[in-house]
């Protein structure tokens, strides 16, 4: 991964830089996620694995979402960034930031998936999946997750100082990932969080690369 040069580039230019730097990993993970989704429907040998993961999710509920999302969205990206030299100051505080933030996001996302199933049903037909994807990408993401994640990452990038962050709040971040989201909503509810966790690392790394320390 290429580090972003220091200075005062705009948020939009940093997003473009991060997306460009991650284009190949993005294609790889999106393709792999789609393959995992297809294997659920067409590869019978994989069914025991899916059943095991679904049983874990069903048994532990929000606890599973909290722990797994904290690991995939927080701990693993933090370790990657730290080993690559991208985190040099406030190491413990940043570790807590990543893990706590994504533990909370795990609860939010799990509840949102449950709400989607209640609102639109649990079917995997075209119209059900399309409604879930549209609501996810153009309502939930735009109004809740993207503004919130932009705000908290800007806060982290400014040394956890609200006074430094407040003047910079002038834009929002929107990441469209329709292929993966479509596959997620084609799976049973208990498998949606596990697949989401799988592709989450890339999303968090893109956010982390917006203002990498030198």
pTM for the model: 0.72
Identify the three-state secondary structure at position 138.
helix
Task: Give the tens place of pLDDT for each residue, 150-198.
Answer: 788 888 888 888 888 777 665 444 455 667 778 788 888 877 887 788 7
User: 3, 63, 14: which is closest to 210 by C-alpha?
Assistant: 14
Given pLDDT bands bounded at 50, 70 and 90, which one contains residue 92?
Answer: very high
Identify the three-state secondary structure at position 200.
helix
**What is the per-residue pLDDT for 203?**
67
Structure-token pair, residue 43: 């590869």
Residue 81: HSE in the Cβ half-sphere, 13 Å Cα cutoff:
29
What average pLDDT score do residues 18-32 get? 65
**What is the per-residue pLDDT for 4?**
39
Distance CA 166, CA 162 (A): 6
Burial label for 42, CB within 10 Å (0-12, 13-18, 19+), is exposed
pLDDT-wise least confident of 71-80, 148-157, 198-207: 198-207
Whole-number Cα distances in Å, 1 to 68, 104, 171, 194, 210: 24, 27, 25, 25, 12
**What is the per-residue pLDDT for 106?**
92
What average pLDDT score do residues 34-63 get? 85
User: 72, 25, 73, 49: which is closest to 187 by C-alpha?
Assistant: 49
Distance CA 196, CA 208 (A): 18
Task: Give the tens place of pLDDT for each residue, 99-137.
Answer: 999 999 999 999 999 999 999 998 888 899 899 988 998
Percent of the chain whose predicted confidence (pLDDT) is above 90 = 20
């Amino acid at each position: 991964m290429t580090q972003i040069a220091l200075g005062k580039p705009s948020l939009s230019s940093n997003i473009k830089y991060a997306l460009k730097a991650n284009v190949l990993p993005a294609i790889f993970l999106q393709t792999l996620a789609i393959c995992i989704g297809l294997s659920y429907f067409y590869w019978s040998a994989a069914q025991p694995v899916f059943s095991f993961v679904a049983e874990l999710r069903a048994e532990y509920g929000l606890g599973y979402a909290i722990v797994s999302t904290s690991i995939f969205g927080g701990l693993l990206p933090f370790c990657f960034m730290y080993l690559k030299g991208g985190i040099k100051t406030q190491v413990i505080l940043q570790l807590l930031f990543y893990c706590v933030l994504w533990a909370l996001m795990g609860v939010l996302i799990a509840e949102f998936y449950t709400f989607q199933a209640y609102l639109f049903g649990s079917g995997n037909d075209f119209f059900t999946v399309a409604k879930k994807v549209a609501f996810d990408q153009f309502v939930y993401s735009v109004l809740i997750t993207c503004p919130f994640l932009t705000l908290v990452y800007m806060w982290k990038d400014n040394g956890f100082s609200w006074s430094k962050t407040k003047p910079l709040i002038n834009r929002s971040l929107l990441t469209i990932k329709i292929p993966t989201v479509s596959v997620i909503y084609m799976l049973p509810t208990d498998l949606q969080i596990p697949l989401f966790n799988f592709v989450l690392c890339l999303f968090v790394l893109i956010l982390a690369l917006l203002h990498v320390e030198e």
